[in-house]
Amino acid sequence: MFTKPTQARIERRMDAAVLLAKECKPKQAQDELIALRKTRASKEQLRKVQDALNAAAAACTREERRRRSHPLADPKRGG
């Protein structure tokens, strides 16, 4: 027997997807978005998540470029 996802459950999945994106984990975030598409999430909810994923991806890209251009400022590289 399958249960229909409640709005609260959908909201939690939305939050999880956005958090993954902000942690620069785009594959996992996109997987959550794909899973959300299979639920009763509205088009507005899906668009909100997609927009957040796009913004987070841009931020992650900027951060990666910053790290590459200033290797001494990266704590992972001893800076």
3 has pLDDT over 70: no
DSSP 34-45: HHHHTTT--HHH
Helix count (H) and strand count (E) of the chain? 3, 0
What does the pLDDT average to over 35-57?
Answer: 94
pTM of the model: 0.75
Is pLDDT above 80 for 70?
no
Burial category of 45 from C-beta neighbours within 10 Å (exposed 0-12, middle 13-18, buried 19 and up): middle
Please report which confidence band the pLDDT of residue 76 belongs to, taking 50, 70 and 90 as the band edges: low
